[in-house]
Structure 1
Amino acid sequence: MGTLFEWHIGINETGARNSSGEILSPEVYAAGADTLPTRVRAVPADPQASWTLDQVADWLLGLIESETRFLAGINHRFSFPASYFEQQGLRSWRDLLADREVLTDEGEGPFVEAARFNDGLPGPERGWRMTERWGNSLTCMFQYDVRGLNDSSHSALPWLRRIREHAGSRLHVWPFDGWIPPEDRSVIAEVYPLQASNYYPRKWRGPAEQNAYTISRWLLEADELGILNGYFRPQLPERICRAAAVEGWILGVH
């Protein structure tokens, strides 16, 4: 039995910082239909070269141009809680992407925004999306003390908008473009690698590499086992599905 996708890509982008305060570069692992994940370098000839998110976008767009069908998982949030949409008067996920582009251009930091959001809508439950409640996530979008993950969740939305606009109909951003991806499209989905991090020995990989490796291998094995379609269409109540249309969903939470 063949796989649905040619490549299964894991991208770690947590916004974590090193001891000097610099944001660590993304890590990328990829697996073919018959191969285990291997690390993909920003410059193949230079093992010291680091990725930027823009370079990752260009690489994925290159795969789309070459008609290589892939499933890519990345560990940052693709959207905000429904309460944020209500507060800001946003009607759709597309509105959110455009809004984030403006705020990023104006230089507004995500934690300034988080403070305004929390002040305007008091109550700890306001910052949680349905997928985080359903999947028992340890963090929510507007927690002040989880800077790495939440930094990337705020700042990477313009990146997601860019790759989606350039790829057009050749890319399916799950689940916003529909729960079941068409057979001729590549797919990008939000994932949470800690759900499967203990499945695979770490060996020589550091935490960021292990996250990217875990995502890639988990997607590959789910595809090989024929259970991806079950992940793409989780059995959820209709009210949860409606919320996910704007809040998004974590692949594998069901």
Structure 2
Amino acid sequence: MGIGKGTGMLFDRYIGIDYSGRGEPDERTSGIQVVELDQEGNVRRIAPGGGPARTFSWSRREVYEYLSALLAAASNQRLAIGIDHNLSFPISYFTQRGLKDWEAFLGHFQALWNTKEQSVKVCREKAPSYPNSTELRLTEAYTSSAKSAWNFEQLTGAVSYSTHAGIPWIYELRAASRDRLHVWPYDGWSPQAGKSVLAEVYPAILYQRFKRLGDFPQDWPRDAQDAFVIAAWLRERDLNGTLVRYFQVDTLTEQEKQMALQYEGWILGVC
């Protein structure tokens, strides 16, 4: 942060999204915050609609519409988008339901959980329960604090709610922007040339890294700070040339990489 634009950077803009499964799909909540940095490190806390900042709280539908419009308009710019919810489930879910890959999972999930139109609470009443509310994906097991997406015992700010609310919107965004968007790592470990990238990022493992810096937004609420650290980390890694290595995750075995690529996905930044 603050050391200037680098040469050879992969992306033009860095967008951090702190997500929430609270409330209805069209209901604005302070738990959803969007922050953007450019190559020079200029920071913008984004308000929905792009107009005057009457509120910085977003609805899930507004986040989808914002990203969809941004991807459609940014034909000459590459965006690095980090979002704070799981993009997939443990591999056991795939094997038990005969899902061959993540693409099949997306179609299956959005049909089962209609959280584009209804709250997670309402959809939970119709969907089958999970056998193990503590089961983790491999990438979550490699962190010290990640929780299972199947653990609904926490409050509505938990990753279970945000994941179940968010995945159907990822399905829609992918369908609308397939020619412009690389969803990492499912579309490949190396982002395709000319495409923007969307990846799962876990701000809790980045927060302390940026909290100590002089330009950290101390007066922002925690959800906005989490969106900030996602965007700041993406830019910092791109600036110093290491983001491409995080994309490759060469600390994993070939078997682990294949499992993540086909089924579980990975949290960008977890080694």
TM-score normalised to structure 2 length: 0.83
SS in 1 for 2:48: coil
* Structure 1 equivalent of residue 140 of structure 2: 132
Distance 1:93 1:39 in 2: 32
SS in 1 for 2:266: coil
Distance 2:210 2:127 in 1: 35
* Structure 2 equivalent of residue 12 of structure 1: 18
Q: Does 1:117 align with 2:123?
A: no
* Structure 1 equivalent of residue 226 of structure 2: 211
Letter in 2 for 1:239: Q
Deviation at 1:102, TM superposition (A): 1.2
* Structure 1 equivalent of residue 4 of structure 2: none
Aligned pair in 2 of structure 1 residues 52, 190: CA closer, same or farther (>3 Å)?
A: same
Q: Show CA shifts across 1:78-111 (max 9, x none).
A: 0000011112221111111111221123968565
Aligned pair in 2 of structure 1 residues 169, 44: CA closer, same or farther (>3 Å)?
A: closer
Q: Does 1:41 align with 2:31?
A: no
Instruction: Compare the two structures and name the one with the higher helix fraction.
Output: 1
* Structure 2 equivalent of residue 141 of structure 1: 149
Equivalent residue in structure 1 for 2:171, among 161, 169, 185? 161
Give matches, 1:1-254, under 5 Å: 1-15=7-21, 23-24=29-30, 26-49=32-55, 50-66=57-73, 67=75, 68-105=77-114, 109=121, 111=124, 116-118=129-131, 124=134, 127-146=135-154, 147-148=156-157, 149-201=159-211, 202-235=217-250, 236-245=252-261, 246-254=263-271
Report sequence identity in percent.
Answer: 32
SS in 2 for 1:15: coil
Aligned pair in 2 of structure 1 residues 38, 143: CA closer, same or farther (>3 Å)?
A: same
RMSD: 2.4
TM-score normalised to structure 1 length: 0.88
Q: Show CA shifts across 1:188-210 (max 9, x none).
A: 00000011101223410111101
Distance 2:113 2:127 in 1: 14
> How many corresponding residue pairs?
246
Deviation at 1:22, TM superposition (A): 8.2
Query: Which structure 1 segments of 5+ residues have no match?
Result: none
Aligned pair in 2 of structure 1 residues 197, 237: CA closer, same or farther (>3 Å)?
A: same
Q: Which aligned runs of 4 or more in structure 1 are off by greater than 6 angstroms?
A: none
Letter in 2 for 1:93: W
- In 2, are the aligned partners of 1:6 and 1:69 still within 8 Å (CA)? yes
Distance 2:168 2:148 in 1: 20
- In 1, are the aligned partners of 2:10 and 2:238 still within 8 Å (CA)? yes
- In 2, are the aligned partners of 1:130 and 1:243 still within 8 Å (CA)? no
Moved more, 127-136 or 4-13: 127-136
